[in-house]
Chains A and B, each alone.
Chain A
Amino acid sequence: MSFLEVLNVCKSFDDQAVLKNISLSIEKNEFTTLLGPSGCGKTTLLRSIAGLSSLDSGRVLLDGEDITYKNPRDRNIGMIFQSYCLFPTMTVFDNVAYGLRLQKIPPEQTREEVQGVLESMNLLDKAKSFPAHLSGGERQRVALARSLVMKPKILLLDEPFNAIDAKMRKSLQLTVKDIHKEYGMTSILVTHDQEEAMRMSDTIHLFNDGVIEQSGTPTDLYLDPKSKYVASFMGNYNVIDANSFSRVTHGRYQEGKTVVLRPEAIELEKLPFEEGSPGHTFVGAITSAVPQGSIVRFGVDTEGVVLNVDVLVDKATAFRVGEQVHLRILTDKILSFCFGTRFSILKRRVHD
């Protein structure tokens, strides 16, 4: 049995079903992410695990024990809220020491443990400050320290990096990941940022309107999406309907299913591909070029369909907007789905 088991959990708010029969299991020391768009029920599930909101039906098991009806204070679960929720009247030190003091840990030991965790968070010089005088990133680290010092069985993080600038966010993501490893923790992160999920997780559960659409490793979800929804959420996939794709390939594509293509799976050349090379080859015109770090994303127009194509920077300098280019799509890179099947399990690779 897994470390945390969520079994058939349902929850509605005034007739609006928010969690629709959710089940998932999480192993010890795993870093799990609940990924999904705004309002799909991620926070609600996290709060149910913490015991902060009651369930309509279903059960939650932690470490082999049914905790569905256990008071949050007896669960030993740590949670970082979207808005940090530090105690405004206490100093950083007192915030972090709060839980230990409630457990009647001797003051000497409390001080040592608090200082230890503050040090690893790089917060020692802020120990006497009040939350109102801290920056967003510092508050976030205090919130982390306050939970970590309790050595929780599970750490729940609800979009903790939202209010933080991009650079700080990356370093905090690394901090959280390091601490996760160092303390041998089990963590669940909620986010709607696909890149953040890819960077941090061992496992991703992708949510869609109260159900889990697909679960798996980041690579699984990226390379092998089980539905159009997953594909469009997990990257900047090109989603092309059957008719258009048939037109692009000059009628060679006959499957009649919507086609999904990763932008880096399309090859771009200035010279034509050799006659009889595998896959679909065709020509197009570059309409846009957007540099994105180590790659450049080109928009290429063929037969009225604009495809996103990613090219590594050093190769991309050869192409200019307005130029005529040659494209190739290898058939094993094409994913196709029956039209309208959001819950399709019928994903198949196409070979013509």
Chain B
Amino acid sequence: MNRNDKQSKRTHLPLIIRTVLLLAGILLWEYFATNGRYNPIFTSHPSGIIKDSIVFVTSGQLYKHASITVLEVFGALFLGSLAGIALATFFGYFSFAGEIFTPIISGISCIPQLALAPIYVLWFGLGLQSKIFLAGLMVFFNVFSATYGAIKSMDKGILESANLLGASEFVTLRTVVLPSCMPWILSGLRGGVSAALIGAIIGEYIGSRGGLGWMITYSTSYFNISRVMSCILVLLVLGLALNKALDLLERRVLVWRTVTTLGTERLKK
């Protein structure tokens, strides 16, 4: 009981300080912009953003564009991680093929994918496919390298134990290998989430007919900075939500893990 009280106090304090600091920053921004201390045309200001956001939502524009971007991000995450896990597993079993191809894959992953984005738009057109391909590829590299590393460092004795207890290779993969690689797969996925957001938005900058990225370039060209900020607000919420979802997933999936904290335990009196 006692210890819990202390712990909750300690976790609440930073939260309070953080909220106060953020609110103060927003208020200062509003104050300086509305009192003509500088020209808000380049940065907009909080009340302007709120006003625009309401228009954005009620006009149905938000739904139209956000759904495009969300679809691209989820499509990329799903396809990219599926391909990453599948290929890493394949190379795990056929290590000869792995030896041949993994250097090529890591070579390709060194090319900044954003540099290739215009080509992908040429290949796949202005629709969803080009964005999903670009973002998916970025997710793939993240998840593949994390999963492949995890599989390579699996303890062989654990696989052999499963084998001796009657498990076929496929059953071992499903019940032993993938669950114990989960920590790495999830951290690959975490990198994948930000990669997917970047890929989708940049893809839309380069060539598209809709989406939050398209809305941002479009609004910027009309100096509608409030709208740009509204879009960024939506992206922020999307990114936070995805990360939160990963947190929850991690907590569910990784109950078996002991979490190491650096530094030794403090002795309490």
Q: A103, B166: Cβ atoms under 8 Å?
A: yes
The answer to the question of B179 belonging to the interface, with a C-beta cut-off of 8 Å to chain A, is: yes
* Contacting residues, chain B, for A71 (C-beta < 8 A): 163
A184 to B: closest C-beta gap in Å: 20
Decide if A88 touches B164 in the complex (CB within 8 Å): no
Stretch in contact with the other chain, from B31-39, B49-57, B237-245, B251-259: B251-259
Question: What secondary structure prevails in chain B residues at the interface with A?
Answer: helix
Interface string of B160-189 (1 = CB under 8 A from A): 111111111001000110011010000000
- Tell me whether A102 and B255 are in contact in the complex, defined as CB-CB below 8 angstroms, given that A87-B176, A89-B180 are known contacts: no
1/0 contact string of A27-52 vs chain B (CB within 8 Å): 00000000000000000000000101
Judge if A90 is at the interface, Cβ distance under 8 Å. Answer: yes
**Bound: A103/B155 CA distance, A:** 24
Interface centre among B160, B166, B168, B182 (most CB of A within 10 A): B166
Complex: chain A residue closest to B159, CB-CB: A85
Verify B179–A89 contact, CB threshold 8 A: yes
Given contacts A81-B157, A85-B161, contact A73 B168 (CB under 8 A): yes
Partner of B162, one of A82, A87, A88: A87
With A79-B161, A83-B157, A89-B180 known to touch, is A132 a contact of B257 (CB < 8 Å)? yes
Nearest neighbor of B171 in chain A, beta-carbon distance: A102
| Nearest A residue (CB) for B257 | A132
A-B contact count (CB 8 A): 78
> When the two chains form their complex, are residues A99 and B160 in contact, meaning their CB atoms are under 8 A apart?
no
A133 contacts the other chain (Cβ, under 8 Å)?
A: yes
Name the contact of A85 in the complex, choosing from B157, B166, B168, B182 (C-beta under 8 A).
Answer: B157
> Inside 8 A of B164's CB, which chain A residues have their CB?
50, 52, 72-73, 75, 77-79, 147
Query: Which residues of A lie under 8 Å from residue B108 when comparing CB positions?
Result: none
Mark out the residues of chain A between 94 and 133 whose CB falls within 8 Å of any chain B CB in the assembled complex.
Answer: 98-99, 102-103, 130-133
A87 to B157 alpha-carbon distance, docked (Å): 10
B26 lies within 8 A of chain A by Cβ: no
Closest to A99 in B: B165
| Residue B158 lies at the interface, judged by CB distance under 8 Å to chain A | yes
CA distance A74 to B167 in the complex (A): 9
Among B155, B158, B165, B179, the residue within 8 A (CB) of A102 is B165
Please tell me which one of the listed residues A78, A79, A89 contacts residue B256 in the complex, with CB atoms under 8 A apart. Answer: A89
Interface mask (A295-319 → B, CB under 8 Å = 1, otherwise 0) = 0000000000000000000000000
Our pick among A82, A89, A99 for the contact of B166 (Cβ within 8 Å) is A99
Q: How far is the CA of A98 from the CA of B176 in the complex (A)?
A: 10
Q: Which of B166, B179, B180, B255 contacts A73 (CB 8 A)?
A: B166
With most chain A CB atoms within 10 A of its CB, the pick from B161, B162, B167, B180 is B161
Q: A262 on the interface (CB 8 Å rule)?
A: no
Answer whether A102 and B167 are a contact pair too, CB < 8 Å, given A87-B158, A89-B182.
yes
20 A–B pairs (Cβ distance < 8 Å), ordered by A? A52-B163, A52-B164, A73-B165, A75-B164, A78-B164, A85-B160, A87-B161, A87-B175, A87-B176, A88-B257, A102-B165, A102-B166, A103-B166, A130-B255, A130-B256, A131-B256, A132-B257, A147-B164, A147-B165, A150-B165
Extra contacts besides A86-B161, A98-B175, A99-B166 (13): CB < 8 Å: A52-B164, A72-B163, A72-B164, A79-B160, A79-B161, A83-B155, A85-B157, A85-B161, A86-B158, A87-B161, A89-B176, A102-B171, A103-B166
